[in-house]
Amino acid sequence: MPTAAAISIGNSTLQAGHLVEGEIDGFVTVPSDRPDELVDAIEPWFAEVDREERAVLMASVNRSAETALRTVLADRIGGEIVEMEKDLSAPIGRGLDPESVVGVDRLLAAAAAWDELKQACIVIDAGTAVTVDFIDGEGVFQGGSIMPGIAAMLRTMAMSTDLLPDEGFEVPTGEPWGRNTIDAMRRGVHAAVSGGAWKLVERYALHYGGFPLVVATGGDAPVLFEDDELVSRVVPDLVLRGMALAWRTANETTEDAEA
């Protein structure tokens, strides 16, 4: 199975995984506006691979970052770019509206979660936006919910008011209430995202008639859900694992056809 790189292009970050024998063998994450830094990290992965034999799997929800990265990849890596959902589908069943368009990252994370758990599950992806998606006991992605992420909430409050400051997020500690404005804001957005996810998980479980396992991923997942009793595990490279699964599936199908 050929060596490749899997790259997930998000609104805030670029994440790349080294694909060796169809499995992720290490990954790196950089801000979405630093494509050269990402390519610096992945270039050694292809040191012993001929330029024309190189492959890069790409899943994008950020067109401007994708365009910039493609330019750097063409110059420094070369080879074939395999676009997820266009050239290679996420291996997950779908119970969606016929004309719906779902972010490729959500489908890939769902595919990876189902492949690992083989039972009904919920995937929380906590990034610029937070998605809470449900995969049923047959491995079918049924859809989910989308809400603003921590940074988006803080930024919106600062932009929409005269007195609330524009500050970054830090995990609240100590007392449950903030004794100054920014602490109060941080506690509020932390509760809004984690509490919103809890509420959605409860609704999904009630409707499904059982309590699925919950997996969290995304840049803010560790600060939100690392010690959360509702979340069974935090998997930072879940989307990349979904890409690896799609790559393995495609190569195994090709090998079976050639046998």
- 182, 201 Cβ separation under 8 angstroms: no
Q: How far apart are CA 63 and CA 211, in angstroms?
A: 36
- Catalytic residue check, 105: yes
Vertex 126: Cα angle to 62 and 65 (nearest 5): 15
Give DSSP secondary structure letters for 12-27: SEEEEEEEETTEEEEE
Candidates 36, 40, 87, 105; catalytic one: 105
To the nearest 10 degrees (0 to 180), the angle between helices 35-42 and 63-76 is: 40
Alpha-helix residue ranges (DSSP H) falling in the chain: 35-42, 63-76, 104-117, 150-160, 181-208, 221-225, 238-258
Point out the residues that are catalytic.
105
